[in-house]
Amino acid sequence: MDVATVSSKGQITIPLSVRRKLRLKTGDKIVIQEENGRFYFDNAALVAFMRISDAFDGTAKGSGFQSEEEMQDYMKGIRKEVRGY
In a domain, 10, yes or no: no
In a domain, 32, yes or no: yes
In a domain, 52, yes or no: yes
In a domain, 6, yes or no: no
- Write down the pLDDT at residue 48: 82
Domain extent at residue 45:
16-83
Counting the structural domains of the chain, the total is: 1
pTM: 0.53
- Cα–Cα distance, 40 to 26 (Å, whole number): 20
Q: What is the DSSP string of 6-25?
A: --TTS--PPPHHHHHHTT--
Residue 8 has pLDDT above 80, yes or no: yes
Cβ-based neighbours of 34, under 8 Å, separated by 6 or more: 40
pLDDT tier at 26 (50, 70, 90 boundaries)?
A: very high
Strand-pair category, 38-43 with 30-35: antiparallel
- Which residues share a beta bridge with 30? 43
